[in-house]
Amino acid sequence: MVLYNMEKNEISIPNPSDKNCIERKAGEIVDLVHCDTMFYENWFSGDTAKIEVNIPLWMKENTGLEISDFNGILQRGVKDYLGITG
């Protein structure tokens, strides 16, 4: 999140440190972590993709729901399927 916010605020992201030059105590390990800021960009962008989904007629007729209701249900279902919270 720090790197994502730096990108959004047009702050230069420093090069990673050489992990061999970072001081550490005996038994401590230093490693580099991959940061995917594009994931956060896509997550927070609010951009949408228009897709067409077909559902059985009985499902539409027996629920009394409007198309906009199905949109929210589909989004929640996909997030649940992917294990995404929030």
- The tens place of each residue's pLDDT in the chain, 86 residues long, gives 788 888 888 999 888 888 888 999 999 999 888 888 888 787 777 778 888 888 888 888 888 777 778 888 888 999 899 888 76
Are the CB atoms for 35 and 2 separated by under 8 Å? no
State the pTM of this model. Answer: 0.45
Give ∠ CA 61-66-72 in degrees, rounded to 5: 120
**Domain assignments of the chain as residue spans, ordered by start:** 1-47, 49-86
